[in-house]
Amino acid sequence: MPTNNYVESSFWNFDALFQPQQHPARDSHDTFFLKDPSTTRTLPEDYVERVKQVHESGGYGSKGYEYDWKREEANKNVLRTHTTAVSARMLYKFAQKPFIPRRYFSIDRVFRNEAVDRTHLAEFHQIEGIVCDRGLTLGDLMGVLHEFFTRLGMSNLRFKPTYNPYTEPSMEIYSYHEGLKKWVEVGNSGMFRPEMLLPMGLPEDVTAIAWGLSLERPTMILYGIDNIRDLFGPKVDLSLIKRNPICRLGID
C-alpha cells in the first residue's frame, strides 16, 4: 500500500473507520494534531455524506452513534496514528470498481502522543494487512496470524477479545517475553464492520479481515531486548547497529 504520507486527515484516520468524534483516541493527549496545514480540503463529498449519516443515524443494521457529526472535526490534519487509515483509502478506491478479491500489505511508521516506556514509543512501525473477499471468517484471520508469527519463530501466542470501533469481532494478539516475564501485546486485528465497508460502496456479501501488528515488539521478543528504546529511537546504541546491520526475523 502507498504509505508515504505521514500526515492524514482525521476523516481517513478516524471517521471513515467508524470511530466516533468523541472517542478518547481523538484527543490531543493521544494524537498529534498539525498546526500548518491544520485542515484538509480534499475529501470525496458523496462518501463523506454517507459516513456522516452512518455516524449520526446508522444504517446497514446499525443505529450509529446518535450524535451531531461535525465536518470541521473530520477536516483536522493529524500525524497518522495507524496505517489502517491507508487501508481505508485503498478499500474506498477499489470499491469504486467491480469487485475482485484483494490483498494489501504495508510496513511503515505511525505516531501516537503517549508516554514512552520499556514497551511504548511515540513513533514506531506498524505491519498492516487486509484480505477482502467473500466468505472470510474469524478462523481465517486467526490462521493467517498464527502462520505469520510461527514463521517468525513465535508460536507461543494468545488471542484476546477486545473492542475496536471499526472491527467486530476484534482480537488482540499477545506473545510471551521471557526477559520481561510477561505477555506482551504484539498486534490488533478483526473483521471490518459493515458500517465501515458498505458506505464505501462494497457489496454486502464481501468481508474483510485486517490486522495491525507491531514491528518492534516481536523483534524485542526474538532478540531478547527488554527495552524498546534500545531498538528504535534516539537512545539506540550505534555500536549495536554496526554489529547487527540486518535484523533477520524467521531466518536461521
Domain contains 248: no
Quick: pLDDT tens for 81-110. 999 999 999 999 999 999 999 999 999 999
Q: Say what the pLDDT of residue 51 is.
A: 98
Note down the domain range covering 120. 7-243
What does each C-alpha distance from 216 to 93, 118, 181, 222, 228 come to in angstroms? 30, 11, 17, 10, 7
d(CA 88, CA 15): 10
Residue 53's pLDDT band (boundaries 50, 70, 90)?
very high
Domain contains 190: yes
Q: Mean pLDDT, the chain, as a whole number? A: 92
Looking at the whole model, is its pTM more than 0.75? yes
Stretch 21-41: mean pLDDT: 91
Q: What is the CATH number of the domain that holds 180?
A: 3.30.930.10
Q: Say what the pLDDT of residue 29 is.
A: 80
Count structural domains, the chain: 1
